[in-house]
Structure 1
């Protein structure tokens, strides 16, 4: 994933992120892993292992572990635009282990937002399960502690493909304000809590009180991460996926 693409901004406490004035992005996108590798090391740098994320979906491109994502409806996946350019998309849905369990489905069609790091992938078949609920403007606030999820790199290990997590990780981060994503779209920036996102976490969710408010776009892998603001693009998501 390209999580060297993230950027922060500061705003007054109590304002919704959707209403903040964003600053320009400061980080570059993280490279998408290009070869498969499993490791017992932890993903998301820091944080811990997730125990309840039935909407989580690991994204593979041409059979290679690439990004994270969520299932938002029986035939629809939400992820980052920079995760889908390689084609040959498949997903393991509803398992915390990217190597087994859950349901595997293939991408049958890809839809990308013209001005943000968002993509919707239509699956080749319906997958029953628990779908991520999407936030509306006002669903997340500055200084709020939120959770980020992914199967990405567990350390700054050079080639991040060599330290991807087999099991889904989660970390707490704190919202700092509005910013820009990898494609200059509206994003939510957050500072590191007990962990920070890295390569392979791209496309994964930011959850506020159990509601998805962001999609991982960029990170400096040390202190700051940027998530495309799902609440700002609800009308586009609904127009494509109907949710």
Structure 2
């Protein structure tokens, strides 16, 4: 089992054998955008398809100008991603709302990085990024309680990660997705209680920090429920583990004021 490393780090690694964490085998997953019927299903993501309709809150995270991870805008001033995507405290920017990771959308620099104080991968793999200038937008509504998701609920995952099982490049310019369902609401172990998904595509390097959007059994709407934290190399099983937002909501609210 491996974290979904930022693209440049992932390419430095050799092939990783599947490892078991807390008795649960980790295979990566790639999620799809809910209702994106226009996505063309291809064998390229690894699996999944290309998003063809806008996701205004999706954000491509760059480090000193180079794409590194996927992320989501959750307010006018804050971006949500994985803590392992931001090992440094400066040098980051985001491109918000474009289906292409290198063009379009709105670009903002990051002036504050707040990793969860308990971060020790894979535990607490979640981070908040403050933008130097606010950007009023449509934000991804978040799942704030455990009631907002359940096993077998429809799920979609997004990312600009590698389309190849070995996580090699080049990365796709167009945002990709995979569709599936929640396979567990508390997988892995007590060290890393996670949301696990099973989808028609597999996450790879560059998908880290990306969103899992889950159909809430309470509201009947899709909510941002998890942050992509764990995947398997080589990719291909359609499994992934996401840091659950509801477990860290009090920290998110305390940092952002939401």
Q: Say yes or no: TM over 0.5.
A: yes
- 2:56 maps to what in 1? 54
Q: Look up the match of 2:148.
A: 139
Question: Which residue of the partner structure matches residue 187 of structure 1?
Answer: 194
* Residue matched to 1:37: none
Q: Deviation digits for residues 195-231 of structure 1, max 9, x if unmatched?
A: 1211101000000132100000011222221000111
In structure 2, stretches of 5+ residues that fail to align are 6-15, 29-41, 216-221
Rounded Cα–Cα distance in structure 2 between residues aligned with 1:118 and 1:85:
12
Matches within 5 A, 1:11-90: 23=22, 26-27=25-26, 44-50=45-51, 51-86=53-88, 87-90=90-93
CA root-mean-square deviation: 2.8
Which digits, 9 at most, give the CA deviation of each residue in 1:129-168, with x for residues without a partner?
1111110221111112200001111112x453x1311011
Q: Provide the secondary structure at the position in 2 that maps to 1:46.
A: coil
Out of 106, 126, 143, the residue aligned to residue 103 of structure 1 is 106
Give the Cα–Cα distance (whole angstroms) in 2 for the partners of residues 44 and 130 of structure 1.
26
**CA 1:106–1:43 in 2, change beyond 3 Å: closer, same or farther?**
farther
Displacement, 1:120?
Answer: 0.2
Contact preservation (8 Å) 1:24, 1:179? no
Matched, 1:120 2:131: no
Q: Equivalents in 1 of 2:248, 2:161: separation in Å? A: 25
**Equivalent residues, number:** 215
Mapped to 2, the partners of 1:127 and 1:194 lie a distance apart of 33
Spell out the pairing of 1:217-232 with structure 2 (5 A cutoff).
217-220=229-232, 221-223=235-237, 224-232=239-247
Q: Separation in 2 of the partners of 1:218 and 1:101?
A: 29
1-structure distance, mates of 2:131, 2:44: 26
Partner Cα separation in structure 2 for residue 73 and residue 98 of structure 1:
20
Following TM superposition, by how much is the alpha carbon of 1:2 offset from its aligned partner in structure 2, in angstroms? 3.7
- Once the two structures are TM-superposed, the CA of residue 62 in structure 1 deviates from its matched residue by 1.4
Q: TM-score, normalised by structure 1?
A: 0.80
CA offset digits 1:166-194 (Å, max 9, x no partner): 0111111321112249x943210122x32
Contact kept, 8 Å, 2:54 with 2:98, in 1: the verdict is no
Equivalent in the alignment of 1:15: none
Distance in 1 between the 2:64 and 2:24 partners? Answer: 30
Q: Distance in 2 between matches of 1:66 and 1:225?
A: 18
